Copies of this chain bind each other. A is one copy, B any other.
Amino acid sequence: MAGRPRDDRARNVILRRAADIASQDGLEGLSIGRLATDLGVSKSGLFGYFGSKEELQLATIRTATGIYLDEVIQPALTVPPGLGRVRRLCENWLSYSQRRVFPGGCFFFAVTAEFDARPGRVRDAVAAASLDWSRLVTRTIDDARQLGELADDTDADQLAFELIAFLETANARSLLHDDPNAYERGRTAIRKHLDAATADPGNTA
């Protein structure tokens, strides 16, 4: 299945560039010819790595998932479970978007809106990645709750929905309006929200 090391390196270079293009112009806007020209190889040579455009799209999603793991998730797992890890996960996400690890902002935000109404394997792969992320945030919140750092009656699924909403909206607003305040709005919303959910018997919010 895996080619020689040299092939793998070439493949990685191709897919990193593909993910950058897709974050800006979408996975449909990503064309084999353009990608080949950008990288200075022949179209059919590049095509041979993947066999079809759909396979290129799926491989690009896997590459983006790996980068997301490295940039957002892994560094948060160095923090012990609890509220601190929840905060770190959110901050890593905002930083990943703000630093433009992908030039078009969050890769998954870009391709979700593109494929959410187009049934097929690409949509399925995007939906699976989104679900994995959503479950990780939920689990991290629930850990904090079980450790007594969030109120006992915290609905982890609901709070995860709300935090993810703030992250994605900060990303979207920053991109669409070149608004540098977007990330501060997101940070404020997250801080306020997590403070409101901290274990505090007198808190009714």
Contact = CB atoms under 8 A, between A and B. Distances in A.
A9 B188 CA distance: 48
A130 to B, nearest CB: 6
A29 B114 CA distance: 10
A116 B105 contact: yes
Nearest to A185: B161
Contact of A161 (B23, B25, B123, B169): B169
A110 B117 contact: yes
A172 to B, nearest CB: 6
Pick the most buried of A29, A161, A185: most chain B CB atoms within 10 A of its CB. A161
Contact of A169 (B164, B175, B188): B164
Interface string A27-39: 0110000000000
Interface residues of A, number: 46
Contact of A165 (B105, B112, B114, B166): B166
Given A29-B28, A158-B189, A196-B196, A169 B172 contact: no
Interface string A174-205: 01110000000110110010011000000111
A103 interface: yes
Contacts of A109: 113
11 contacts: A23-B117, A24-B117, A26-B28, A110-B113, A114-B114, A161-B173, A161-B186, A165-B168, A196-B196, A203-B205, A205-B205
